[in-house]
Chain A
Amino acid sequence: MAAGASGIEGGRAAAQARERPVRRSLGGLLAVVRQIVGAPDYGRYLVHHAACHPGTAPLSAREHYLEFVSRRFGGGATRCC
């Protein structure tokens, strides 16, 4: 699992290195904002899926989104007083 995680990081870094610096930093900023507000990151999911579940079809963007929000908002306390 740990090796898989570092593999993801490596793969992402390589993919990002190919992009232009400005776009890369904007993309990085948006990724941070997404994580803070708890929004799904479909691109990240695809990378994870390719690394950890090779040979199976990934969810579509819509399926991924619906599953993500139903997990995040579907149960448990996500908001406080």
Chain B
Amino acid sequence: MLALNMRRLLSSLVWIAVAALGATAFALLALSRGESISAAWILCAGVASYAIAYRFYARFLALKVFALDDRRATPAERLNNDRDFVPTNKWVLYGHHFSAIAGAGPLIGPMLASQFGFLPGTLWLIAGVVAGGAVQDFTILVLSMRRDGKSLGQMAKEEVNSVAGVAAMLAILAIMIILLAVLALVVVNALRSSPWGLFIIASTIPIALLMGWWMRSVRPGHVLEASAIGMVLLLGALVAGQWVSRDPTWSRWFTWSGTDLSFAMIVYGFFASVLPVWLLLAPRGYLSTFLKIGTVLVLAGAILVVLPQTRMPAISQFVDGTGPVFAGKVFPFAFITIACGAISGFHALIASGTTPKMVMRESESRMIGYGGMLMESFVGLMAVIAAATLEPGVYFAMNVPSGVLGTTGDSAARVIAQWGFTLHPGQMEALARQMGEATLLSRTGGAPSLAVGMAAILGGVVKGSGLALWYHFAIMFEALFILTTVDAGTRVGRFMLQELGAHLWKPFGRTSWYPSIVLSSALIVAGWGYFLYQGVVDPLGGINSLWPLFGIANQLLAAVALCVGTTVLIKMEKQRYAWTTLVPLAWLAAVTLTAGWQKVFAADPRLGFLSHARVVARGTATASSARLIFNDRLDAALALVFMAVVLVVIAASAREWWLVLSRRKAPTVNEAAFVPSAYAAGD
């Protein structure tokens, strides 16, 4: 009894210390004005908050809200087929789930949002994940796990109603198109006029083909061996790229314009969707998974070793909406720009996809669902740190489109001086030489500036190692991430289109019928390819219009997931806990609807699509102005569709809540029947 009390006391003391550390870190971050602070405080604030949230809030969700029960067999145990349903050790599954959810999003969003300073992004990444993103991932994982691994769309249809089901389907398809377009745009902007970068990424294609052939024909199924070979070749390409960039003939071959690159991406995406998976998709997927896990670990270690100082302001003057990287005030646009890392609707697809079929014990879903998302938020904080350690002048010189900065270092320095930041003459040219690039001015999209930040941190660990090598390593890492998403996303979109098309014409739904594969792949690629191309030729840089649309679409999907979660909680007669999903839902609805409304109707032509179209229409009519007007209207229509889908899903769900709460409808859920588990309970 005494020992138990001692342990309790000790545990309380430890948690009080963690809370105090976190509070100190937040106080330091909030009170630092103008002076540089150590990035360690950003990490402290994050890690202390994650620990407390995981220990107390996630435990509350697991025990009280979902009442997780280890005596109940999971689908992995009941339906074990050693293929998709496999009971998996929780640490292994944690790694597996994390590498599926984490992509380029949590790296790019915080980088772009740093125009507001590092504080808004830091606070939103931490608060958003604890109360929103991790709750969403955990809820959907538990719901799907209790329903034999059903997908989000199926659950929306069965637990809410068919209106919500159709809306979920549309939301997924829409987010896929916009997501692929904007991610492809990030890659195009990173590889534009960069022979070194393009050489590495181009060489991943023959490397993947070689790996694919090896794993299929030479040593069937030897993925680790083929990945090791691929990794060595990839690092070889990284080093060889420098030579390519210095050789006049070779560098000319690999210097491509944005439009050429966008066509190459479109062709590549089409083939990745049409070819058998073993040839291109699977080897690229494995290569990128290894690179992802390795780089995240190395970067986290490097930040801890170097503990860089911040140079960006905590809060910049651009919170008022005059920001040059993208338009709009800190509310709602910081919360739209950083979607992944704080709350990402896309995760609901993973949490209702492969992961729920592999959970061994119900209680382990807390660590995988809630804990996995905390890790993604941590990755987001690393991007915040990489951004915060850049000099503000360099950050804006890299992330603001040339339409604003002009095309020379001098013109950029003049514009940036008006904002109160300094860019020394020749600074950008010197930086570009250091990084082995022709120019770093207006390299929008976030990837190049992230790579500069990462190179500074990683180069700080290994003294004397070439910054140019680290810069291109970071570019390779980001581009490979994104291309894997483009591969997989195009394919998923193709399957969804075939499923939808089957309602119109039966044979279209045959997923292995070649004419249908080619047609549906072409339609999906044309969809995102259109937005990609328009983004590349957009004088404002494309990111300004596409990234907010992507954020809105991603948050919209999160709203759908939270509606499904709330509905199930109410039907489980857990309505007193429904606030756990209702609060983030209300916040997301406020954010997406405000942002959507402003993107469509704001009077500022930099922000509102329609007012921009009006400004263009007032100028001389040319072919390009007609195209700009059409695209503005298309983007506006898309934002309106997104808003309508949010409202429809919320209304459809609210109707169900009312029916159940007013006892007009019986509170029944469609959980799989209880089967006792053979695994011993507990850890």
Chain A residues at the B interface, C-beta cutoff of 8 Å: 1-6, 30, 32-40, 42, 44-45, 48-49, 52, 60-62, 64-81
Contacts and interface: CB of A to CB of B under 8 A. Distances in A.
Given A42-B221, A70-B278, A71-B84, A77 B488 contact: yes
The 3 closest A-B CB pairs, nearest first, are A2-B678, A39-B223, A81-B105
B475 interface: no
Contact of B96 (A38, A42, A71): A38
Contacts of A64: 220-221
Given A38-B354, A61-B221, A77-B488, 15 more contacts: A36-B99, A44-B82, A60-B220, A62-B216, A62-B220, A65-B215, A68-B83, A69-B278, A69-B281, A73-B277, A77-B353, A77-B489, A78-B353, A79-B100, A81-B346
Contacts of B281: 69, 73
A81 B104 contact: yes
A37 B78 contact: no
A68 B285 CA distance: 14
Contacts of A35: 88-89, 92-93, 96
Nearest to B280: A73
B489 A32 contact: no
A16 to B, nearest CB: 15
B224 A39 contact: yes
Contact of A48 (B82, B151, B354, B487): B82
A37 B99 contact: yes
B135 interface: no
B426 to A, nearest CB: 37
Contact of A80 (B221, B290, B485, B495): B485
A72 B340 CA distance: 23
A73 B88 contact: no
Contacts of B484: 79
A75 B495 contact: yes
B224 A30 contact: yes
Interface of B: 73, 77-78, 80, 82-84, 87-89, 92-93, 95-96, 99-105, 151, 179, 183, 215-217, 220-221, 223-224, 227, 276-278, 281-282, 285-286, 289-290, 293, 339-340, 344, 346-347, 349-350, 353-354, 484-485, 487-489, 491-492, 495, 511, 550, 554, 677-678
Contacts of B678: 2-3, 5-6
A8 B352 CA distance: 27
A2 B492 contact: no
A66 B278 contact: yes
Contacts, number: 147
A52 B85 CA distance: 14
A49 B81 CA distance: 10
A78 B487 CA distance: 10
Contacts of B350: 77-78, 80
B488 A73 contact: yes
Nearest to B98: A36
Contact of B100 (A39, A45, A69, A80): A80
Contacts of A67: 83
A60 B227 CA distance: 21
A31 B557 CA distance: 35
11 contacts: A35-B88, A35-B96, A42-B221, A67-B83, A71-B83, A73-B491, A74-B277, A76-B353, A76-B492, A77-B492, A79-B488
Given A72-B282, A77-B488, A37 B290 contact: yes
B489 A79 contact: yes
A39 B286 contact: yes
A65 to B, nearest CB: 4
Contacts of A80: 100-103, 105, 340, 344, 346-347, 349-350, 485
Contacts of A5: 77, 80, 87, 678
A75 B511 contact: yes
A67 B350 CA distance: 21
